[in-house]
Amino acid sequence: MQGLKDRLKELLTDGTVVRILGWKKGDMPYNPEPAIFNSAEELEDFVYDGFCGANLSKMMIEATKLEGKTAVCLKPCDTYSFNQLIREHRVNRDNAYIVAVGCRGKLDIEKIKKGTKGITAVSGTELDGSDEITVNTIYGDKTVAYTDALLDRCHVCKGKEHMISDEIWGESKDTADRERFEEIERIEAMSPEERFEFFKKELSKCIRCNACRNVCPACSCRKCIFDNTKFDAQQKANVVSFEERMFHIIRAFHVAGRCTDCGECSRVCPEGIPLHLFNRKFIKDIDKFYGEFQAGKDPEAQCPLTDFTFEDIEPGERG
C-alpha cells in the first residue's frame, strides 16, 4: 500500500492531478471511508485494503466538475461503472485520471463479525496480505479464511481486468468461484407463490433509507422521481405494500441495461436485502434475449434496451 500512497503523492506533486479520490483510514480496523485528498500531507491517511469495497465511480460525477483533474482509485469492477457513467455523459473523462488498483476481492465485515464481537484489530487484509485474516478481539483472537469473508459479489467476480485505466497498480485476482446466475436460477425455479413470499420477506425489512439508490452509480438522475415534491406520496413512508412492490422494482427497471452488477446496493443495505437479485435477473434476461451484454465493458457499445433491431423479441416473452 505504501507504494500506492507514494505513487499518488507523486501524481499530486508532479501536477498530473490536483486531487485524489481514494479511501481514508477509519477509526476502526475495518471502516475506511471514501475521501478526497488535496495534498501529500492529507494522503498520509490514505488506505487501501480489503475493506475498501466502496465503488468510487459515482463520486466522480461531482469530482470531475471541479477545476483540474481528479485521480480516482478504481478496482476492476468499479471500472465498469465508470465506463457506464462515461457512456451516460455523467462524468467528464478528460478531467479524470484513473489509477486502476489491484483487487483480490473485498471483505464483508458482517461475515467476519458473525459470532465475533469486540474487534480491536484485523490484519492480513492488504492486497499482498495472506489467505488468512487474523481478527483480534477483546474476547480472544481468531482467524478467518479470506475467501470466507468475501462480499457475495466477489464470488461472482467479473474478472481481474480493468475496463479503463490510465495506469495500473498492483495485481488483481479473479475471485469468482460461483456461477453468476446461480442465485437467479434458484429463484426462477420457485413457484410464483414461493417467489413472492421470498421477496415479500426480504423487502418487508426495507426501512426506506434510500442508501441503495444513493450509492448506485446507475442512479445518477439529478432529481429522483421518488424525491419529487410535486406528488405527495414520495419516499419515506415504508408502507409495506409500496416497499414490496414498487420502490425497488421501479428502481430495478430504471437501471435495467445500465446496471453493471457492481453490487453496491446489496453491500450498503442496512437490512441485508439482496437487492442485486432484481438487477441480475434483468441482466440474465437481456443476455438471453439479445445476446451477452455487459454494461460498462465498452463505453461505446450500444445497450440492447436502447437499440432496436428486427430480431428483437416480441413483448410478452418471459425470461
Partner 1 sequence: MYKIAIKDLDTLFSKIAAEQELILPLKKAGQYNFGVYEEGADTEGILVNKTVKSAKDAFFPQFETLYNVRKTITPADELANGEEASGTKIRTKLEVSMEDLKDKDFVVFGMRACDVKAVDVLDKVFLSDPVDNYYKARRDHGIIVALACHEPEESCFCTVFGIDPADPKADVATWVVGEDLYWKPLTDKGTALTEGVKDLFADADEQAIEEEKANIKAIMDKLPNTKLSLEGWGAGKTDEKFGSDVWAKLYNPCLGCGTCTFVCPTCQCYDIKDYTTKDGIERYRCWDSCMYSDFTLMAGGQNRTTQLQRFRQRFMHKLVYFPDRYDGMYSCVGCGRCVDKCPQSLNIVKVIKAFGKENKGGAV
Partner 2 sequence: MCDCSSKDILVPQVGIITGITQETPDVKTFRVNAPNGGKLFEHMPGQCAMVCVPGVSEGMFSITSSPTNKEYQEFSIKKCGILTEQLHSLEVGDMVTVRGPYGNNFPVETEFKGKNLLFIAGGIGLAPLRSVINYCLDNRENYGRIDILYGSRSADDLVKLQEIQDVWMKAPNVNVYLTIDREQEGWDGHVGFVPTYLKEIGFKTDCIGIVCGPPIMIKFVLQGLKEMGFTDEQIYTTLELRMKCGIGKCGRCNIGSKFVCKDGPVFRFDQIDELPNEY
- Chain residues that interact with partner 1, rule: CB under 8 A: 26-28, 31-36, 41-42, 44, 54, 59, 117-120, 137-139, 201-202, 204-205, 207-211, 213-215, 227, 229, 232-239, 267-268, 270-273
- In angstroms, what is the minimal distance from the CB of 231 to partner 2? 9
- In angstroms, what is the minimal distance from the CB of 207 to partner 2? 18
- Contact partner, 309, from partner 1, partner 2, none, Cβ < 5-8 Å per class: none
Q: Which is nearer to partner 1, 121 or 145 (CB)?
A: 121
- Contact partner, 28, from partner 1, partner 2, none, Cβ < 5-8 Å per class: partner 1
- In angstroms, what is the minimal distance from the CB of 251 to partner 2? 25
- Contact partner, 17, from partner 2, partner 1, none, Cβ < 5-8 Å per class: none
The residue behind cell 459515482 is 58
Q: Which is nearer to partner 2, 130 or 228 (CB)?
A: 228
- In angstroms, what is the minimal distance from the CB of 40 to partner 1? 13
**Alpha carbon 33 to its chain's center:** 14
- In angstroms, what is the minimal distance from the CB of 230 to partner 2? 6
89: left (phi over 0), alpha (psi -120 to 50) or beta: left
Contact map string, positions 199 to 238, toward partner 2, x by CB under 8 A: ------------------------------xx-x------
Residue 89 binding partner 2, by CB under 8 A: no
Alpha-helix runs per DSSP H in 33-152: 59-63, 76-87, 109-113
- In angstroms, what is the minimal distance from the CB of 235 to partner 1? 7
Whether residue 163 contacts residue 80, with contact meaning beta carbons closer than 8 Å, is answered with yes
Whether residue 232 contacts residue 247, with contact meaning beta carbons closer than 8 Å, is answered with no
Strands (E), the chain: 19-24, 33-37, 70-74, 96-101, 119-123, 132-137, 140-145, 167-169
- Contact partner, 230, from partner 1, partner 2, none, Cβ < 5-8 Å per class: partner 2
**DSSP characters for 284-299?**
HHHHHHH----TTS-T
Interaction residues for partner 2, span 178-197 (CB under 8 A): none
Long-range contacts of 175-179 (CB under 8 A, 24+ apart): 175/104, 175/105, 175/147, 175/150, 177/147
Instruction: Assign 124 to helix, strand or coil.
Output: coil
- In angstroms, what is the minimal distance from the CB of 213 to partner 1? 8
- Contact partner, 313, from partner 2, partner 1, none, Cβ < 5-8 Å per class: none
Four-CA torsion 255, 260, 265, 266, nearest 10 degrees: 130
Q: Which is nearer to partner 1, 217 or 257 (CB)?
A: 217
The angle formed by the CA atoms of residues 79, 80 and 82, to the nearest 5 degrees, is: 60
C-alpha cell at 295: 454494461
Which residues are registered as beta bridge partners of 36?
Answer: 21
- Contact partner, 190, from partner 2, partner 1, none, Cβ < 5-8 Å per class: none
Give the residues lining the site for partner 2 (CB under 8 A): 229-230, 232
